[in-house]
């Protein structure tokens, strides 16, 4: 199949008025491709064509919590609220109905691959049926037992710790050990709030609360949440560090050195009022970046395009090609999916004002005719 589109993003360059031969990813003028591949079926589309998007971090089973949590009150009040809401009974039908709606929005906005965090695996079947690949992360809290997970489908089931304050150091080590043997991705929420920062210093509301309920025993000493994980030696190329809002220069060096991935969930950070990651500093290294929507408990909708546009709006100095790279190949790398241009995604630019602005900005800042991607200081290709 040859796709002829106004814009094509190939993981590096935004091509204007070109066509792509999907089988091998070759990009040239339609005229030339027709000549080389006369048998190929031709699809003419407007707008932007990209590989299928990768939503690296979400919690589909929490979709019924949409609109139930207060905005902008800070992380700790949000956490207390969600713990209380999750204890409320909900019928399986309602949970699945809301999950289906969330999945439909994700697919409509171009998501083909998913990194879904789950406690109950109640939406596993829906996820398998609707996404081409990715991973399902079974979230482990301070439990003593990690269940044996049978790998049945195209989505690996990966036990993953929720966060450093909810999973003991011993359990973190056990989970990491499993991942090393399985060579699968591991996802953990990290440095989402300043409270987590205080937690590793053994102070603050979160530390006091967990100590009162008898959850805490010995914590390894550390200056930051990332350094806490580093001290336990559990950051590697398969680790996805979700949020990374409150990270230091030293943390960024560790993440870079360990070849771990960061999952940005900026609209969720905005909803909670947690702050935003230090993008300018993060971009100085060569850290793999990916994008997630997080759940409907901390974002208004599952529209992945809105998530991408939010990154651009919040950090307009970032070349839009990077943001598109993070939304596709960055996500594939984080979830250990072989990079490829499959499940092409068509985004109607005309009817999508912020995206049009993003693309226009891109050509203005880096005219495609004169800027070869390899000359760019932040070339997103490895
Ligand atoms: Zn999350």
Task: Identify whether residues 204 and 350 lie together within a single domain.
Answer: no
- Rounded to 10 deg, the angle between the 353-365 and 304-314 helix axes is 50
Token duo for residue 47:
């707008």
Q: Between the ranges 167-176, 192-201, 285-294, where is the mean pLDDT highest?
A: 285-294
β-pairing, 42-50 vs 2-9, is parallel
Q: Helices in 118-248 by DSSP H: which ranges?
A: 124-130, 169-182, 194-200, 204-212, 225-231
Task: Please tell me the distance between residue 59's alpha carbon and the centre of ligand 1 in angstroms.
Answer: 6
What is the distance in A from the centroid of ligand 1 to the CA of 80? 15
**CA 231 to ligand 1 center in whole angstroms:** 23
Angle at 99 between CA 127 and CA 162, to 5 degrees: 75
Cα 263 to ligand 1 centroid, rounded to whole Å = 10
- The DSSP letter of residue 9 is E
Measured in angstroms, how far is the CA atom of residue 190 from the centroid of ligand 1?
Answer: 10
The CA 5 to ligand 1 mean position distance, Å, reads 35
Q: Are residues 320 and 350 in the same domain?
A: no
Domain match, 287 and 361 both: no
Q: Say if CB 121 and CB 156 are below 8 A apart.
A: no
| Cα(268) to centroid(ligand 1), Å | 9
Whole-number Å distance, alpha carbon 79 to ligand 1 midpoint, is 11
**Residues ≥6 apart with Cβ < 8 Å to 87:** none
Ligand 1 centroid distance, CA of 187 (Å): 9
Are residues 296 and 353 part of one domain?
Answer: no
Q: Do residues 370 and 319 share a domain? A: no
The answer to whether the CB of 16 falls within 8 A of the CB of 371 is no
Cα 38 to ligand 1 centroid, rounded to whole Å: 47
The pLDDT of residue 219 is 80
User: Please, what is the Cα angle at 305 between 301 and 308, to 5 degrees?
Assistant: 105
Q: Calculate how far, in angstroms, residue 39's C-alpha sits from the geometric centre of ligand 1.
A: 46
Assess whether 279 and 174 both reside in one domain: yes
| pLDDT of res. 355 | 66
- How many folded domains does the chain comprise? 2
CATH of the domain at 309: 3.20.20.140
* Cα 58 to ligand 1 centroid, rounded to whole Å: 6
CA of 203 to the centre of ligand 1 (A): 23
In total, the chain counts a number of residues equal to 382
At 43-100, the pLDDT tens digits run 998 888 999 999 999 999 999 999 888 888 888 888 888 888 888 888 889 999 999 9
Work out the number of other CB atoms within 10 angstroms of the CB of residue 368.
Answer: 15
112 in the same domain as 34 = no
* pLDDT single digits (tens) 25-48: 889 999 999 999 999 999 998 888
Q: Are 39 and 165 within one domain? A: no
State the distance from the centre of ligand 1 to the C-alpha of 97, rounded, in angstroms: 20
- Check residue 375 and give its pLDDT: 32
Cα of 295 vs centre of ligand 1, distance in Å, is 6
> What's the pTM value of the predicted model, to 2 decimals?
0.89
Hey, is 39 helix, strand or coil? Answer: coil
What b-and-e string marks burial along 159-192, b requiring 16 or more CB atoms within 10 Å of the CB? bbbbbbbbbbbebbebbbebbeebebbbbbbbbb
For residue 237, report the distance from its CA to the centre of ligand 1, in Å: 20
Residue pair 305/69 in contact by the 8 Å Cβ criterion:
no
Q: Which two tokens stand for residue 96?
A: 């699945």
Dist. CA 241 → ligand 1 center (Å)? 11
Distance, CA 219 to ligand 1 centroid (Å)?
Answer: 23
Q: For the chain, give the percent of residues with pLDDT over 70.
A: 90
Quick one: 164 and 100 in the same domain? yes
* Confidence at residue 17, expressed as pLDDT on a 0 to 100 scale: 87
Q: How far is the CA of 246 from the centre of ligand 1 (A)?
A: 16
For residue 136, report the distance from its CA to the centre of ligand 1, in Å.
13
The encoded tokens of residue 18 equal: 């070109």
- Residue 367, pLDDT > 60, answer no
C-alpha 117/C-alpha 59 separation (Å) is 5
* Domain match, 127 and 223 both: yes
Q: How many Å lie between the centroid of ligand 1 and the Cα of residue 1?
A: 37
> Rounded to whole angstroms, how far apart are CA atoms 290 and 2?
28
What are the pLDDT digits (tens) for 159-195? 999 999 888 888 999 999 999 999 999 999 999 999 8
* Domain shared by 117 and 26, yes or no: no
- What confidence tens digit (pLDDT) does each residue in 334-359 have? 999 988 888 888 887 766 666 666 66
- Beta bridge partner(s), residue 161: 140
Four-residue CA torsion sign, 257, 258, 259, 264: negative
Give me ligand 1 centre to Cα 376, in Å.
Answer: 33
Q: According to the model, what pLDDT value does residue 357 have? A: 67
* Cβ burial, residue 72 (10 Å; 0-12/13-18/19+): exposed
CA distances from 232 to 4, 206, 235, 254 (A): 50, 21, 8, 13
CA of 304: how far to CAs of 56, 114, 342, in Å?
A: 11, 11, 18
Backbone angles phi, psi at 145, to 5 degrees: -125, 130
Looking up residue 377, the CATH number of its domain turns out to be 2.30.40
Same domain, 25 and 72: no
Domain that holds residue 370: 1-51+346-382
């Amino acid at each position: 199949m040859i796709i002829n589109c106004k814009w094509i993003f190939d993981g590096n360059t935004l091509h204007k008025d070109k066509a792509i031969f999907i089988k091998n990813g070759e990009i040239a003028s339609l005229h030339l491709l027709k000549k080389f591949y006369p048998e190929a079926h031709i699809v003419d589309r407007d707008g932007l064509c990209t590989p299928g998007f990768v939503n690296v971090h979400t919690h589909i089973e929490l979709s019924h919590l949409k609109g139930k949590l207060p905005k902008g009150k800070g992380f700790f009040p949000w956490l207390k609220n969600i713990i209380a809401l999750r204890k409320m009974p909900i019928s399986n039908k309602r949970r699945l109905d809301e999950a289906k709606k969330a999945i439909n929005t994700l697919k409509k906005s171009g998501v083909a691959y998913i990194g879904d965090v789950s406690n109950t695996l109640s939406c596993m079947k829906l996820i398998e049926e609707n996404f081409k690949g990715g991973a399902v992360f079974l979230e482990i809290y301070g439990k003593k037992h990690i269940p044996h997970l049978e790998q049945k489908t195209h989505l690996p089931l990966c036990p993953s710790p929720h966060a450093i304050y909810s999973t003991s150091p011993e359990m973190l080590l056990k989970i990491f050990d499993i991942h090393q043997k399985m060579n699968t991705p591991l996802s953990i929420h990290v440095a989402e709030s300043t409270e987590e920062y205080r937690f590793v210093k053994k102070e603050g509301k979160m530390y006091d609360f967990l100590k009162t309920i008898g959850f805490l025993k010995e914590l390894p000493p550390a200056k930051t949440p990332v350094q806490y994980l580093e001290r336990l030696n559990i950051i590697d190329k398969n680790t996805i560090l979700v949020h990374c809002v409150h990270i230091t220069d030293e943390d960024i060096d560790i993440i870079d050195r360990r070849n771990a991935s960061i999952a940005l969930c900026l609209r969720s950070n905005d909803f909670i009022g947690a702050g935003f990651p230090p993008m300018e500093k993060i971009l100085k290294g060569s850290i793999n970046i990916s994008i997630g929507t997080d759940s409907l408990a901390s974002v208004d909708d599952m529209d992945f395009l809105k998530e991408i546009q939010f990154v651009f709006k919040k950090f307009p100095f970032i070349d839009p090609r990077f943001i598109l790279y993070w939304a596709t190949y960055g996500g594939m790398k984080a979830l250990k999916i072989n990079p490829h241009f499959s499940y092409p995604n068509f985004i109607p630019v005309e009817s999508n004002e912020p995206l049009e602005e993003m693309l226009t900005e891109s050509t203005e800042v880096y005219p495609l005719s004169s800027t070869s991607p390899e000359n760019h200081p932040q070339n997103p290709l490895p």
